[in-house]
C-alpha cells in the first residue's frame, strides 16, 4: 500500500512528535524573531509555497506548523525588521546566516557504477555522497578551523551541513564563494590543489595514507594515477545553496515531502545510511 503524506498525519506529527530542539541547537535563540521561515502548504488539495514569514517565539512557529500541517518547512537568514509575508526579505536589512552546504547523490549521476540509473539511493552509490561529506567535514575543521558543524540527512538522497560558529553568520557572499571554491575546485584548478587537500582526499576516498616517503618516491607515478581517478569524486556542492545568503534550507526534524523521512541529525557520517533515518509513519505507529 502506498503511504500518502496527508495534511492530517502531518498535523499530528507537528503537534505531538516534532521538536524544534535540533534547529535551536544550530541557530540559537538570539534574534529568533528576525529569522525567515518558508513553508510548502496544502490548501484544498493544492500545494502552495510561502516565505517571508517570521515568528516571535519557537512555540509560535511549532503551533503554526501543527495547525497548517505543513508539507515542507524551511529556515533562512535573519533580517531587520523581522520578515513579514507582505514584503520580500530582499527589501529588508540582512543581518546574518550560518554557513550551509548541500550534498546530493543526484549530482554524482554521471559516475554511478551500480547500473541502476539515476535518481535512487543504493549501498553501492551512497559512498559517493558519504565520502564527500567526510571530506567536507574534515576540511571545514582542519583548514578553516570551524568547530560547530552539524550534519543532517536531507530526507532523500544527501546531507545538509550547518556551520554555526558565530563568525559564519557575518560572512558575505564573496567569503561564502571563496570557501566553496576551495572545497569544490573547478576542473582547471584541480592541478594546483594544496598538498594537504590532496592527502586528505587520498585518505578519505581511497583509505591510502600518503607518507612522506611515498611522496618523495612515488608521487609522480602511482599516487598520481590514484589521484586522477578520484578527482571526479571530490565534493560536488550545490554552490548556489552555500553562496546565496537568502536561500532557505529544510528545518532539522521536519518531514521531507517526497519521502516522508525525517531530516535527522547524523553523528557518524561513515556508518550512516538513509534507511537509518525514520519516516513519519514509523514514528507514529
Q: What are phi and psi of 47, to 5 degrees?
A: -85, 145
Q: Is 137 a catalytic residue?
A: no
Contacts of 96 (CB under 8 A, 6+ apart): 31, 77, 78, 169, 170
Q: Is 238 a catalytic residue?
A: no
Minimum distance between the CB of residue 128 and Zn ion, rounded to whole angstroms?
9
d(CA 272, CA 279): 15
Does residue 199 contact residue 251 with C-beta atoms inside 8 Å? no
Catalytic residue among 8, 21, 104, 137: 104
Nearer to Zn ion, 116 or 147 (CB): 116
Residue in this structure with the C-alpha cell 521536519, named with its chain if needed: 254
Q: Is 102 a catalytic residue?
A: yes
Nearer to Zn ion, 95 or 122 (CB): 122
Catalytic residue among 8, 21, 36, 244: 36
Strands 46-53 and 158-163: unpaired
Q: What is the CA radius of gyration of the chain?
A: 20
Minimum distance between the CB of residue 70 and Zn ion, rounded to whole angstroms?
31
Catalytic residue among 21, 43, 98, 102: 102
Binding stretches for Zn ion (CB under 5 A): 114, 116, 122, 124-125
Minimum distance between the CB of residue 56 and Zn ion, rounded to whole angstroms?
45
Nearer to Zn ion, 122 or 167 (CB): 122
Nearer to Zn ion, 97 or 156 (CB): 156
Minimum distance between the CB of residue 276 and Zn ion, rounded to whole angstroms?
17
Nearer to Zn ion, 111 or 122 (CB): 122
Minimum distance between the CB of residue 124 and Zn ion, rounded to whole angstroms?
5
Q: Cβ atoms within 10 A of the Cβ of 19, count?
A: 11
Query: Can you state the percent helix, strand and coil of the chain, rounding each to 5?
Result: 45, 20, 35
Residue in this structure with the C-alpha cell 517526497, named with its chain if needed: 258
The closest of 64, 42, 107 to 251, measured between CA atoms, is: 64
Catalytic center residues: 36, 102, 104
Amino acid at each position: 500500500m502506498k503511504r500518502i503524506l496527508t495534511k492530517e498525519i502531518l498535523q499530528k506529527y507537528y503537534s505531538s512528535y516534532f521538536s524544534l530542539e535540533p534547529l535551536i541547537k544550530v541557530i540559537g535563540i538570539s534574534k529568533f524573531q528576525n529569522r525567515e521561515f518558508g513553508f510548502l502548504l496544502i490548501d484544498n488539495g493544492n500545494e502552495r509555497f510561502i516565505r517571508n514569514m517570521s515568528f516571535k517565539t519557537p512555540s509560535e512557529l511549532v503551533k503554526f506548523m501543527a495547525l497548517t500541517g505543513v508539507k515542507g518547512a524551511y529556515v533562512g537568514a535573519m533580517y531587520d525588521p523581522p520578515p513579514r509575508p507582505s514584503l520580500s526579505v530582499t527589501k529588508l536589512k540582512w543581518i546574518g546566516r550560518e554557513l550551509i552546504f548541500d550534498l546530493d547523490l543526484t549530482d554524482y549521476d554521471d559516475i554511478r557504477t551500480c547500473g541502476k540509473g539515476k535518481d535512487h539511493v543504493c549501498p553501492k552509490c551512497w559512498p559517493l555522497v558519504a565520502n564527500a561529506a567526510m571530506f567536507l567535514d574534515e576540511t571545514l575543521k582542519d583548514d578553516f578551523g570551524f568547530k560547530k558543524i552539524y550534519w543532517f540527512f536531507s530526507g532523500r538522497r544527501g546531507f545538509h551541513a550547518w556551520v554555526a560558529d558565530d563568525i559564519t553568520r557575518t560572512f558575505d557572499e564573496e567569503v561564502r564563494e571563496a570557501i566553496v571554491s576551495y572545497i569544490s575546485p573547478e576542473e582547471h584548478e584541480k592541478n594546483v590543489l594544496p598538498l594537504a587537500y590532496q592527502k586528505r582526499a587520498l585518505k578519505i576516498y581511497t583509505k591510502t595514507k600518503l607518507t612522506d616517503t611515498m611522496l618523495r618516491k612515488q608521487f609522480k607515478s602511482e599516487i598520481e594515477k590514484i589521484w586522477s581517478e578520484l578527482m571526479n569524486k571530490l565534493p560536488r556542492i550545490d554552490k548556489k545553496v552555500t553562496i546565496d545568503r537568502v536561500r532557505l534550507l529544510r528545518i532539522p526534524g521536519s518531514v521531507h515531502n517526497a519521502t516522508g523521512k525525517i531530516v535527522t541529525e547524523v553523528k557518524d557520517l561513515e556508518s550512516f545510511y538513509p534507511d537509518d533515518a525514520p519516516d513519519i509513519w514509523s514514528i507514529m505507529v
